[in-house]
């Protein structure tokens, strides 16, 4: 797997924390033994290495600076709400180390400048691809956009399914969890929030 990410004309290589492949492999082998498996049987021979590699991909957002995606903005007069719906994401629940996944909806009201719509999706991805909880993911996306674009307000709604709940029978199959976070006008102005809720229908 390549960890190089092409952004505009630059190639950004995530640095900092790398998954220690050898150590992760040893841990997976140990886990297989702990659950009564034989790591040397045919089907499991490559599993520790495969799982260790997978974690690098699953956690690729950890080394990905989300602010960076919003560093390039465009000046514009437009001050109407911008809404990006149905941004798909995959994340990993930090309580059970099992996937949760779904869609994020992000809205903001520009304050003189906007970003490319695709950059919003990159911010979602950067925060999703790390050990997470849905509530924090929602807040972090909101804070990142508020902190970098400085808009008049940000609204983030996330709908997700959690395997840790579905597999363990805590929750009915396919039911989803919704979280939301608001700032600025979305918090203080009834009309703005109503407009957003209306667009979300
Ligand atoms: Zn969980």
- The catalytically annotated residue of 25, 37, 164, 166 is 164
* 105: annotated active-site residue: no
Helix axes 117-128, 134-149, angle to 10 degrees: 140
* CA of 97 relative to ligand 1 center, distance in Å: 7
Residue 93 among the catalytic residues: yes
Between 33 and 59, residue with greater pLDDT? 33
Q: Which residues pair with 169 in a beta bridge?
A: none
Is the CB of residue 149 less than 8 Å from the CB of residue 122? no
Note the pLDDT of residue 132.
96
- Banded model confidence at residue 4, pLDDT cuts 50, 70, 90: very low
Q: Is position 162 annotated as part of the catalytic site?
A: yes
Q: Is 146 a catalytic residue?
A: no
Indicate if 164 belongs to the active site: yes
Out of 21, 96, 166, 171, the active site residue is: 96
């Amino acid at each position: 797997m390549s960890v190089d990410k092409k952004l505009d004309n630059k190639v950004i290589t995530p640095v900092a924390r790398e998954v220690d492949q050898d150590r992760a492999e040893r841990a997976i082998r140990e886990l297989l033994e702990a659950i009564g498996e034989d790591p040397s049987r045919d089907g499991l021979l490559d599993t520790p290495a495969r799982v260790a590699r997978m974690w690098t991909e699953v956690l690729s957002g950890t080394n990905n600076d989300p602010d960076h995606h919003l560093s390039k903005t465009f000046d514009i007069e437009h001050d109407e709400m911008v809404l990006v719906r149905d941004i798909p994401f995959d994340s990993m629940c930090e309580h059970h180390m099992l996937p949760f996944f779904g869609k994020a909806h992000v809205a903001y009201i520009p304050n003189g400048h906007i970003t490319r719509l695709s950059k919003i999706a990159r911010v979602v991805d950067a925060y999703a691809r790390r050990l997470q909880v849905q509530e924090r993911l929602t807040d972090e996306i909101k804070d990142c956009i508020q902190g970098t674009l400085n808009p008049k307000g940000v609204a983030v709604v996330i709908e997700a399914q959690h395997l840790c709940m579905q597999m363990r029978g805590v929750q009915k199959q396919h039911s989803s969890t919704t979280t939301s976070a608001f700032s600025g006008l979305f918090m203080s102005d009834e009309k703005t929030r109503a407009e957003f809720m209306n667009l979300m229908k």
